[in-house]
Amino acid sequence: MQGPQKTITQIFWIILVSLLASGATYLIHPNLPAWDPLEIREGEISVADAMALEAVIWIDARSEEEYNKGHIPGAILINEDDWDSYFGNFMANWGGETNFVVYCDNRLCDRSTHVADRLKSSLELETIYELKGGWQVWLQTQQ
Amino acid sequence: MKRLVILLSSLLLPFLVNASDLKETPGLQFQNQVIEHVADVSETDFKGVFEFTNTSKETIEILEVRPTCGCTIAKLDKKIYKPGESGVIKTTFTYGSREGKQTKIIVVSTDAKANNRIKLTMKIDIPKIFKMTPSVLIWKTETESINETKTVLLESLTSDPIIIESIKPNNDNFSYTYEEIEAGKSYKITVTPRSGLVVEGIIRSTFEVQTDFKNRAKGRLKFYALAR
């Protein structure tokens, strides 16, 4: 085998073996991040898609203190610190809208998941989404 | 031979790089980063203790202990820990109206050179005491009759029998009756819009059901009726 051709063959093998090893590592690595910033999981919605929804009701699932510091314009506070009180106030004013987007602080909080599940179960609606990345991602989109 | 060395090196390199991630890195080492607990029906909060030791050769300062939920408080006795020194982070998770499996995370940030962002987790399973299906009754007058009756099924999920003490609507837009389906276990509440009710816009009522459950607040439930 001549010089340049031999070099190309070696490079090919190095790349192939590296890819195989990297792929295997990706599959078995125990510390692989579970959260993909681009992946929209079932029940989630991106800020852009949420903004495009018609007559959407924003639900803030954080604490009252966090809500008072800042929230998405028009968002309604409903959290599980006192579900009956917050949900009761909402029911006293709900106009029958069907698109809901629930958010909490960031990807680590599970409050929006619980509130979205309770709203789905109570209102028997499927168009209740969780905002991907929550309030922190919303803030980034506003900069 | 040369080709074989190159091949083996390429194969092993990614594993060697990642193996460094798997070693125990110096810094704050926690005895347990995950606490699991199954709550009792009478509990209103859970107090967790996360013990740690500075296993590095340098003094470490804890810069921030941040719970990801307003329902969780994390307390630290002091911020600076010398090599070999131990400490605790005490947490309190207040249940509020929460039910089911809850995962509450506390993020600990330090000035250590490695392992300087640590995630502590509390996995708490809060028992559900009642199941009310559905908790919102809706009459869509464009597609259904306003005279139709709808039902709410109230079930006790605990072993203790429960009795409905009272049902109080906040107005007379809807009438109701209830009957026991299974003694102490389940009730059917039937709701009907008041005779002659004229629906202009939205008509609504809130019903408060008081049971004899030992915790009076937890034994008080609500459901809603709405016609539009």
* Alpha carbons B69 and B48: distance in angstroms, whole number: 15
Which of the four pLDDT bands, split at 50, 70 and 90, describes residue B26?
Answer: confident
* Alpha carbons B221 and B154: distance in angstroms, whole number: 10
Average pLDDT, chain B: 89
- What number of C-beta contacts closer than 8 Å exist between A and B? 98
B70: chain A residues, CB-CB within 8 Å: 62-66, 79, 81
Element (H, E) at B128: none
A109: chain B residues, CB-CB within 8 Å: 68-69, 105
Phi, psi of B197 (to 5 degrees): -65, 125
The more confidently predicted of residues B93 and B158 is B93
Contact A91 B6 (CB under 8 A): no
* Alpha carbons A58 and A90: distance in angstroms, whole number: 12
Which of the four pLDDT bands, split at 50, 70 and 90, describes residue A10?
Answer: confident
* Residue A134 CB neighbours (<10 A): 24
Residue A6 tokens read as 């031999």
Residue B22 is predicted with a pLDDT of 44
CB-based contact (8 Å) between A11 and chain B? no
Of B21, B70, B100, the CB nearest to A63: B70
Which residues does residue B151 pair with via DSSP β-bridges, in sequence order?
B190
CB-neighbour burial class of residue B155 (10 A; exposed 0-12, middle 13-18, buried 19+)? middle
CB of B73 within 8 A of CB of B65?
no
CB-based contact (8 Å) between A95 and chain B? yes
- Name every residue whose Cβ is closer than 8 Å to that of residue B182 and which is 6 or more positions away in sequence: none
Quote the pTM value: 0.74
High-pLDDT (> 90) share of chain A, %: 57
Mutate to test the interface with A, among B7, B66, B69, B108 (most CBs of A within 10 A): B69
Q: If you average pLDDT over each of B4-8, B87-91, B194-198, which comes out highest?
A: B87-91
pLDDT at position A3 over 80: no
The alpha carbons of chain A give a radius of gyration, in whole angstroms, of: 23
Q: What is the average pLDDT across B82-107?
A: 94
For β-strands A128-131 and A44-45, DSSP reports them as: parallel
What ipTM was estimated for this complex? 0.73
